[in-house]
Structure formats: structure tokens, C-alpha cells
Structure 1
Amino acid sequence: MMNKVVNLMNAETQASQQPDQQQQVIDAVKAMIDGKKVTQAQVAKGINVSTSVISQYLNGKYDNGDSTAVTEKLTAWLALQTNRATNPVAPRFVQTQTANQIHTALAYAHAAECISVVFGASGVGKTTAAKHYANDNSNVWMITASPSASSLSECLYELALELGMDDAPRRKGPLARAIKRRLMGTGGLVIIDEADHLDYATLEELRILQEQTQVGMVLVGNNRVYAQLTGGRRNEDFARLFSRIAKKVGIHKAKKNDVTAIATAWGIHGDSERALMTQISERPGALRLLNQTLRLAAMMASGSNSAIGVTHLRAAFKDLEGVE
């Protein structure tokens, strides 16, 4: 009998706390929306419910649904936003020596209306530099090739979408002609990242498209993209394609100056810390691995209210690499 009474009292206590918790969640979400940090649509997408559910919930009218479940989801979502907001902010973009080298190749292709290729090791900042150039310049369109978008028709359709052609045809012939009409006279630049996924037929179509429209074009990828352009041999077909490449930029490892620029951007000036950062950048993944290490090290340092040091860098690297 006593157990039943206790259970009943606990249930009543939890029930009385639920409206308070729900109101706290509503107030917190509304504050973020009013502060223009997020929209109702983004909140809805963040917890995988419809916008109408969020609207009803925030106005206290979600009577026909499970408001407790929504409260739990929003509580977890709010905790994630708080965690992100309190984490140290990484530099958005660092103008490294390698980034300058890539920007020069992109600018040359853009101005000279020719084809360039940027190839080399993964993680040296090729994609980041290309995105930065695209964001800072008009009439620059960047797409990413992938196994699912490596065929001629899929690659062209990705380009059409990037060009804002939402009603583009799907058949290769009409699609290629529509893209050609769209690019004519723009004086633009087309950047194709992960171009090592593209086959010879697709590369040839892109070459012809570039020649017909006189836009700049840059193929970005790993060392395989260079091999793709030569076909591993210099037969007549591949020679015709390879000869159209006006500028070739091979980047095979991170530079010491890159690490110096990144260290400065993070406010790291100690010789020991910079030496360790250089060692990390020499491993597979290069600057990508270094930046991931720095983000985690910054979180560790923030937790102890201190600057990033060798101890934080070593601990972060070991944690990311799964080293005990």
C-alpha cells in the first residue's frame, strides 16, 4: 500500500514539473527565433518534425500530439546549440601559402578563359581554397564530382543546378546545349572538385564545353585526376585533352609556411606547439588532420581556461587517432 502511495506521489510530482519544463523550452526556443539566431523551419528540421508542429507547440496549441516527446527533442536540441555556442570558434579561412598558390591558378583560368588543373595530396586545403575563391568572386560556379555524379549526364546536371537551371532537361544532348547557352558571354569560371571521379568521356565533354563558351575551368582532385588527363599514356585522344590544360599545379604536401599561418590564426606562438603542429601536418590528412586536432585541443584548453599547449595538442591528436 505504501509503495502505491509513493509511486502515485512521484507521478504527480513529475506531472506538475512537465508544464514548467515545457514552458522553459518554449521560452528558450522563442528567444533564439526572436534573436534571429534560427528560424522555425530550421528548428523543425533540427528535430525532424514539421514546421506546423513547431508553430503549434510554441503557441501552446499542440493538443493532438505528444508534447512531451517534442519537449524532450527540443531539450536535446537546445543543449546541442549551447554546446556549439560555447565551443571555441575556429578561424573560418586562413590565407596559407598553398591557398595563395591555388587562388593564383583559379584566377589565371578565370582571366585567361582556359583550363587549369590543381592536383595532389588530400588534406592540403584544395577544396577550402576553391570554395573561398568561389564565394569571393562573381560568376564562379563550383560542383563536386562523386561516384553518383561521375557519369556525363549526372555531372552536367549537377552543373546545371549550380547554374540555377532548376528546369534543366535530363537528356545529355539538350542538357549540354542548355548549359552552353547559359555560360555563353558570362566570362565565368567553372570549378569541378573531386574531378578524379570523372571518366574520359565526361572530361572530353567538359573540354568542348569550355572551348565553346570561353569560360575558365579548373579541375581539382587528387593525383589520380592528373593520371586521368594523361590516361597513363600519351595516345592521340588523351594528348588532345592534356594539351588543353594551360596551367598545372601539383601540391603534394603541406608547407611549413601553411602551418605557420594556421598557428598564427589560432593565436599559437610557442616553438614547441608549432613544431608539434608541423609533425601532425606531415601525416596523412595533412592540414585537415591538423585543423581537426586544433578544434579538439581548443575545446580541451577552454575547459581548463588556458591557452592551447603541447599537452592539449598531444591529447587531442591521440583522441582523434584512437591511440590509448
Structure 2
Amino acid sequence: MIKAKSTTPSWTFPTPAPDFLQRHSQDEIEQWRKLLTRVIDAANANGWTKAEVARRANIKDGTFSQWSNGNYPGVLGNISEQVGNWLEALEESASIAASIPVSPPFVKTYVGADVYNVLLFTQMTAGFTAVTLPSGSGKTTTARHFCDTRPHAWLATISPNTKTVHGMLVELAAELDIQEHNPTRLVRAIGRKLQRIGDGTLLVIDEAQNLVPDAVNQIRHFVDIHKCGVALLGNEDTAVSFIKDKGSVASRAQVATRFDRRLKRERDPVHDAAVLINAWKIDDDDCVKFLHNIATKPGALRNIDRTIKAAMMAALGNGEDLSLNYLVAAWRNRDMGDIA
């Protein structure tokens, strides 16, 4: 098997031209060497070419090429200063990015475990299932983790702009990396990609409450014809609009009776909130109590996660540890309502 090789060559330190060394002072040459070493390290770490570095540093290609090759004939200090300013900005950005709080890795809450098991069942049995839980309970996070760790599993998100049959098919084609621009062949191309193989294929449709009835019926087609597992994820309205549709009674019955499993309620929201708070390593009693109060609001786990991130950013900016004051301020800044 031939392994793909990087097309970006490694950038090595050049041998400066004799005229270059004679034209500029020893201090300028020493500064140039230090700066170029940092530039090369950054370029190699990020896979940047000289042209890309020149673009990012806002220096003309020809000028930067001469500077980086050690044969620049002009005033070396001017270009070196520009390069130095760019490096400082680059390193400052990297430092800020490194300090931004990151959500804990996938946390297996009760909801997470239940959703995961439904998705696994759906994939293994080529089933047609629905997960209809409140917003912010962890459905999408679990589905994304499942698709990232299981073979032949895809996650597509539906929006009001892609709720129609054609809009949904275009979204599925993009997620499945299908290059087919003929609408009449799109369904068949998607079906071939979803065809059951091995332990099964799975298509997860997130925000499924946006789908129009005909789009849900089209999804059922993939289950019946191509033996692909399909899971609809969304809020409590998911599939309700289809089931209540006054259109084809036969089509409505086909979908309503095809759900092999429906997950409709959370086992223990309080426990799940505690698991997420613990994953953030927050143990201050006042902070924990406040976050549990947030969990009683719509969008429970999502709101806890985002409020903690915002509070930590503010605390880090002031060089302080997370405290209740930062959590309260973060919640108020999000304008999500009062906490009793």
C-alpha cells in the first residue's frame, strides 16, 4: 500500500549570501537569524509555504523570499521588524486560543447512555427510531460522539432551509460526500452509500423536527429499501407534524408504525447535571448549587456548559479562579432569565 506524502516540503534554514552578510550589521544578522528560526518553526508546525507566510505577514512575496533566503538588498531592519510584529501577534493568538476553556470530552450521562444505546440498536438492526428529548439534554453531543467512534455512521443536521425533500437530500449528499448534481439520481446515489454493510450503517438526522412530512417519508424509503438504520433526533415535536398530517393516511401509517423504538424522557436530569459539573471539576458548593439551578431551565446541560465557559474566560482574563460571582455574571450576560 502506498502512503500519501505531504505535498508541503520541510522548510530548512538557508545559507545567507556573502553580500547579505557584508551589507548588514552583525546585530541585524543576529536578529534576522532568530526571527527566521521562529518563522521556520511556525511554518513547519502549520504546514505553511513561504508564500503563505508572506501572505499572513502582509509582506510582498518577492520581498519575503529575499529576506527568508538571506539575500535581501534593502534595509533589513524594516522587514525584520514587520516579521517580528507578525510573530508576536501569532504567538499571542496561540496563547489566547490555548487559554480558552474547552468542554470536557464526551461525558456518559444517563441521557448519553440511553441515546447511545438507541443509536447502536438502530445501526445493528437497520431500525427506524426517534429520540425526542428536550433541547440541551445532550442528544447531539452523544450522536456526534457515536458517529465519530463507530464505522459507517453519519450525522446530518436539518435546518428550516433544508426541511424539504430536495433540501434534505442535498444536505445528506454533502454529509455523505456524494458528488451528484442530477436531482433524479440523487436518491439512488444516497441509497448506495447507505446500503447496509458489515454491522450495519446508520444515518442520524438531527433537528428532525424541522422536516416536512414528505421528507420523513423519504427517509423511511432508505430504511425499507437499503436496510440502513435511521434515527431521528429532535425536540418533542419530532415526527409529530408528520403523524398529524392530513395528507396520505397510508403514508402516515407507514411511518407511525415503523418506529422500532422511541426515547421520549430523561431518566434523571439532576444526576446528568451533576455528572457534567463534576467533569468540569467544579466542587465549590455555591457554584454547584447555582449550576444545578441552571439545570432546571430549558436547555439544561447546554446552558451549564456555556455558562461555565463564559465564566472561566472572565476569570482567566482577571487572573482569578472560577467563583460564584463569575458564574452569576456569565448567566446574566447571556440574558437567560433569573435564577431563584
Q: Is the contact made by 1:102 and 1:126 (CA closer than 8 Å) also made in structure 2?
A: yes
SS in 2 for 1:143: strand
Q: Does 1:299 align with 2:307?
A: no
Gapped regions of structure 1 (runs ≥ 5): 1-20
Cα distance in 2 between the residues matched to 1:318 and 1:23: 50
Cα distance in 2 between the residues matched to 1:254 and 1:23: 61
Q: How far off its partner does 1:100 sit? A: 0.9
Q: Does 1:32 align with 2:42?
A: yes
Number of equivalent positions: 296
Cα distance in 2 between the residues matched to 1:161 and 1:113: 22
Deviations 1:50-89, CA, capped at 9 Å, x for gaps: 89989767645699xxx99999888656533321112333
Q: Is the contact made by 2:35 and 2:83 (CA closer than 8 Å) also made in structure 1?
A: no
Q: Does 1:255 align with 2:269?
A: yes
Q: Alpha carbons of 1:83 and 1:111: their partners in 2 closer, same or farther (altered >3 Å)?
A: same
Q: Does 1:312 align with 2:316?
A: no
SS in 2 for 1:92: coil
Q: Alpha carbons of 1:194 and 1:27: their partners in 2 closer, same or farther (altered >3 Å)?
A: farther
Partner of 1:274: 288
SS in 2 for 1:176: helix
Cα distance in 2 between the residues matched to 1:300 and 1:190: 39
Partner of 2:297: 283
Aligned 1:144-293 pairs, distance under 5 A? 144-166=157-179, 168-171=180-183, 173-186=184-197, 187-231=200-244, 235-251=249-265, 255-293=269-307
Tell me the percent identity: 24
SS in 2 for 1:224: coil
Q: How far off its partner does 1:239 sit? A: 2.2
Q: Alpha carbons of 1:71 and 1:202: their partners in 2 closer, same or farther (altered >3 Å)?
A: farther
Cα distance in 2 between the residues matched to 1:111 and 1:54: 57
Provide the TM-score with structure 2 as the length reference: 0.73
Q: Alpha carbons of 1:237 and 1:132: their partners in 2 closer, same or farther (altered >3 Å)?
A: same
Gapped regions of structure 2 (runs ≥ 5): 1-30, 73-78
Cα distance in 1 between the residues matched to 2:118 and 2:244: 23
Partner of 1:140: 153
Larger mean CA deviation between 147-156 and 54-63 belongs to: 54-63
Q: Is the contact made by 1:121 and 1:253 (CA closer than 8 Å) also made in structure 2?
A: no
Partner of 1:122: 135
Q: How far off its partner does 1:275 sit? A: 1.6
Q: Is the contact made by 2:206 and 2:233 (CA closer than 8 Å) also made in structure 1?
A: yes
Q: Is the contact made by 1:26 and 1:58 (CA closer than 8 Å) also made in structure 2?
A: no
Q: Alpha carbons of 1:301 and 1:112: their partners in 2 closer, same or farther (altered >3 Å)?
A: same
Q: How far off its partner does 1:315 sit? A: 2.3
Cα distance in 2 between the residues matched to 1:132 and 1:273: 28
Deviations 1:205-253, CA, capped at 9 Å, x for gaps: 1101111111110011122213124226794432221110111112469
Partner of 1:100: 113
Provide the TM-score with structure 1 as the length reference: 0.76
Q: Is the contact made by 2:203 and 2:229 (CA closer than 8 Å) also made in structure 1?
A: yes
Q: Is the contact made by 2:276 and 2:301 (CA closer than 8 Å) also made in structure 1?
A: no
Q: Alpha carbons of 1:269 and 1:283: their partners in 2 closer, same or farther (altered >3 Å)?
A: same
SS in 2 for 1:321: coil
Cα distance in 2 between the residues matched to 1:192 and 1:240: 19
Q: How far off its partner does 1:161 sit? A: 2.8
Q: How far off its partner does 1:25 sit? A: 8.2
Q: Is the contact made by 2:208 and 2:239 (CA closer than 8 Å) also made in structure 1?
A: no
Alignment RMSD (CA, Å): 3.8
Larger mean CA deviation between 52-61 and 147-156 belongs to: 52-61
Larger mean CA deviation between 248-257 and 80-89 belongs to: 248-257
Q: Alpha carbons of 1:204 and 1:263: their partners in 2 closer, same or farther (altered >3 Å)?
A: same
Cα distance in 2 between the residues matched to 1:133 and 1:267: 24
